[in-house]
Amino acid sequence: MRRRTFTAGAAAGAALLAGAGCDAPGGAGHGDGEHGDGDGGDGRGSGGRRGAPVTLTVLTHYASEPLASALQTVVDAWNATHRRITVRTAAVKFPDLLTTYMVRQAAGQGADIIHPYCLWTGQLVRAGVLRPVPPTATRQIRRDFTPAAVAASSVHGTLYGYPTEVQTYALYYNKRLLRQAGIDGPPGTWQELEDAAYRTARRDRHGNMLVQGFGLSRADDASVVGQTLALLAARGGTFLTSDGRRTAIGSAAGRDVLDLERRLIDRGAADSGISLLRAFPSGQVAMAINAGWWTASLRGAMGADYREVGVAPVPGPAPDDRGTLATGFLLGVNAKSRYPGEAWEFLHWLNGVRAPAARPGRSAGGGVPVSRMSALQVSVGSMTGRADDMRALLGGDGERDADGRGGGDRNLGPFLDALRYAVPEPNGPRAQQAKSLLRKNIEDVWTGRASVDAALRTAGRQIDQELSRPY
């Protein structure tokens, strides 16, 4: 999964978080059991003498700004109001995160609290790294978070952490390029998408691509697979079977998606060899599918030109088809932590308790009650799976203030709406390996190294073999 670069100001993020981090609801500011599951949900209690000081370590991928400061602001607020339980943060870069979790766990040096990509949940559970969420917290999470966020943080129906950052995929489009081609708005079907892509694509007299009608990104697994699985969901298909044991990409839906992508390339509307992440901000791509984090990056990269960016649901073959992909992260407790009760208490305070927080970019009007994690994610341009929190912070559909300086963004609306119908990324024990194999076969189609039929046969064979391997 590609880690994004946020360009929102760190100072604005700190202001948003300040109101959400300073109080200790219910007088539980002393680390003495604000969460009802003080035994960590496993009946064994926490290690150490009851009432003795405890230090917890949280290991995340928030190694760069503004993520590092946003998390530290909230942790500092906890430490300032909780005398017995102290929280310390540690971070590594995202590409090193899974390996770090596995190596440290094997060496007996795992952090008390970890923040994995949900794709890895099955692998971490199988390896004995994550412990189940306690019953009381499980009930709250199922009540307060969207089904896609809950499913992404679960394995075989058992929750293993609080959903934190959640990303859904939608269609980005350049309004100016569509207008220049005589197109009034974003496509609502695949046929409209193809027509718009062919009409907006332009080449110079030497055949060099000037404007892509539709962008295909090969930046990483998340870019290649994410946009393809979003189209697959809109077509009504799935990557794996419902039990997660076999691939379903060879279905008619999977063939239709790869046929669509290959057709856009063959007819000159797309070129997977051009960097989408550079070309779209430069006005050289009319449409592309990506996750919600990209809005913050585009605002920073495009400046005033960002007003020409629109976002719409990922279209399907028919006008009423709705479907897309959801990915995310969770905060969970290490199965070997000596202090599971204290760890769940902190996570409940961070994710399960609402506190007043200002809307981004607004200094007046008072705070809105949201979880501290929701305030954190919005401060850095992301979302959580708590849809009510997102609507409160983003002002319904993310509309800006009348003066245009509000921190909200109307383009976030479709990503928020997609939380209702998005399909979570499969997260079985070999999900990462299966995703990497799928990426390779998709790229073989894009680059002409394999036909659609050949790539689907190869992907099916390779992925099924990987999924059947003993762990």
Give the Å distances, CA to CA, from 161 to 4, 101, 333, 344, 375.
23, 15, 7, 9, 18
Beta-carbon count within 10 A of 274 CB: 17
Low-confidence ranges of the chain (pLDDT < 50): 3, 5-12, 21-45, 364, 397-407
- Helix-helix angle 372-379:67-81, to 10 degrees: 150
Burial of residue 319, with CB atoms counted within 10 A of its CB: 0-12 exposed, 13-18 middle, 19 or more buried: exposed
Q: Write the CB contacts of 330 (distance below 8 Å, at least 6 apart in sequence).
A: 115, 116, 118, 121, 152, 153, 160, 161, 162, 163, 164
Q: Are 39 and 257 in contact (CB under 8 A)?
A: no
Cα 288 from Cα 314, distance rounded (Å): 10
Cα 314 from Cα 18, distance rounded (Å): 36
pLDDT at 146: 93
Residue-wise pLDDT tens digits, 373-419: 999 999 888 899 999 999 898 875 444 443 333 446 889 999 999 99
pLDDT at 47: 55
Query: Which CATH class name applies to 10-167+327-418?
Result: alpha beta
Three-state DSSP state, 390: helix
- Could you give the residue range(s) of every CATH 3.40.190.10 domain in the chain? 10-167+327-418, 168-325+429-468
pLDDT at 221: 87
Q: Are 370 and 393 in contact (CB under 8 A)?
A: yes
Cα 359 from Cα 367, distance rounded (Å): 7
Tell me the CATH number for domain 168-325+429-468.
3.40.190.10
* 3-state DSSP of 224-278: HHHHHHHHHHHCCCCCECCCCCCECCCCHHHHHHHHHHHHHHHCCCCCCCCCHHH
pTM above 0.75, yes or no: yes
pLDDT at 341: 97
pLDDT at 220: 86
